[in-house]
Amino acid sequence: MSFIGAALIVAGGSIVASGISAHSANQQAKRSGRRADRLEDKMDRLEANRQEIINPFSGMRNLSDMVSNPFANLQVATEAAEFQAEEADIALANMVDTLQATGQGAGGATALAQAALRSKRGISADIAKQQAENEMARATGEANAQTMRFNEARRMQAMTAQGKQYMFETQENRDIASLDRLAGLITGNRSNENAARAQRSQILGQMIPNAVGAFTNIASMGATGGAGGTVNNVSVG
């Protein structure tokens, strides 16, 4: 085999090897590009389906309607005064009847009437005191119950708002983590795609010069070595 023929074979082999490497790099670039495209589609869907921003306090209501003044309608215990007057009239009538029946004088009647009035007045005062105390206790109890209801309603509203905020932030953090992960994968695949394309371009750019160099080296060996010799264990001459 002549050195020219051998040079052509070596140059052709170099071109074939370079072509295979370039094709492999091109396939790698395409695979990385397709993976990046799929990841970008997934990222776009995730972005499009993210939850809307919420106002965790949107369900809060005005609690002022729960506040009132339970002491506003406290009244004077008039029942006791009315009872006292009625009992006084009854006592006087009874005294008069008794005096008329027994024939006693006016002085005795007055003394008995005064004693009866003092007794009834004491009963009336005690009833008035009990009524006032009961009314005050009722108003105080209502005020305390009202405060408890208001505080509980306010606490429940705050807990509801905190729950909404927690749910929103938890989902938001998950979405952000997923987006960050996808962004990292996309960046990695785009980098691989670009690197493979650069490698392909480099291989193609060097393919002809490498083949020419191989051909020149073999041809020059033939020119300096004469017609005889071997190239890669192949006898030439």
Model confidence pLDDT, tens digit, residues 134-159: 788 888 888 888 888 888 888 888 88
pLDDT category of residue 220 using cuts at 50, 70 and 90: confident
Place of tokens 């009722």: 138
Q: State the pLDDT at residue 231.
A: 43
Q: Ramachandran region of residue 95, left (φ > 0), alpha (ψ -120 to 50) or beta?
A: alpha
Are the C-beta atoms of residues 3 and 236 closer than 8 Å to each other?
yes
- Kind and range of the H or E run holding 87: helix 78-102
Residue 171 is encoded by which pair of tokens?
A: 């989902």
Q: State the pLDDT at residue 229.
A: 43
Q: What is the pTM of this model?
A: 0.50
Residue 103 is encoded by which pair of tokens?
A: 């024939």
Instruction: Phi first, then psi: give them for residue 230, nearest 5 degrees.
Output: -130, 150
Model confidence pLDDT, tens digit, residues 86-119: 666 666 666 666 656 666 555 555 665 566 666 6
Q: Alpha-carbon distance 46 to 163, whole Å?
A: 24
